[in-house]
Amino acid sequence: MTTTAPAAAAPTSSSEGNRIMSQDVFARVGSDGTVVEWPVLQRHVENRGLPARFYERVRQVPPPSHDSRTHTVARRMPVRDGGGALVQAWEVVPRSLGVVRRSFLARLANLRWQRETGGIEVGGMAVRTDDKTQGRLTAAQSAFDKGLITSVDWKLGDQAWVTLAEAQLDQIVAAVTAHVAACFAAEKVVSDQITAAPDVDALAALDLTAAFEAAYATEISS
């Protein structure tokens, strides 16, 4: 979908476009009013020494609404509005299936990580499940197994402290292990759905959060 941009216009890059949008932008125009060069910045206008009539200011407008998951936007050569003024033109460009799929997989991985490390409740206790806590749980369990300790003071996710016996720690370790396994299993289920999607429309219809949570609920209860 294009906002009536000339076919010869070239898009600006995202970083270049952001830089341009923060400055006054001009276009050099021919004797008939057609745009022959764009974008032209204020310093270029001043340095070239051409008469002011050769340049017109381009009014910047926001890009058209679009689904950023499946489309991107590119600035195109300005066009004239109903009053004859030059206005920034935009093109909404569809992303390829491969690009959208990789984006969805990355978002899914982040969902899994957030869920995995977000903590769980075990026997009324708020238990952290981040990577460091998982390692500390394993180390504490090993210390119990070797007879090095008979109890351990443990800080919970709500900042409360508890003294855990071996059986209590084993219960927490089992719950955290099951939680982490369910998170990865759920990610695989949804990853397979993403990979199997035949087109961008099918991916756009997929609610990643709902799909992941449904898969997690199934895995954790199995």
Q: CB-based contacts of 214: which residues, under 8 Å, 6+ apart? A: none
Please indicate, yes or no, whether residues 78 and 159 belong to a single structural domain of this protein. Answer: no
pTM value is 0.75
Tally of CA atoms within 13 A in the half-sphere of 183 that contains its CB: 21
Please indicate, yes or no, whether residues 132 and 189 belong to a single structural domain of this protein. Answer: yes
Structural domain tally of the chain? 2
Q: Which residues of the chain have pLDDT under 50?
A: 1-11, 13-17, 19-20
- Full domain range(s) for residue 203: 97-221
Within a domain: 198: yes
Within a domain: 72: yes
Please indicate, yes or no, whether residues 87 and 104 belong to a single structural domain of this protein. Answer: no
Please indicate, yes or no, whether residues 115 and 201 belong to a single structural domain of this protein. Answer: yes
Q: Is 3 within 8 Å of 79 (Cβ atoms)?
A: yes
pLDDT tens per residue across span 38-92: 999 998 888 888 888 899 999 999 999 999 999 999 999 999 999 999 999 999 9
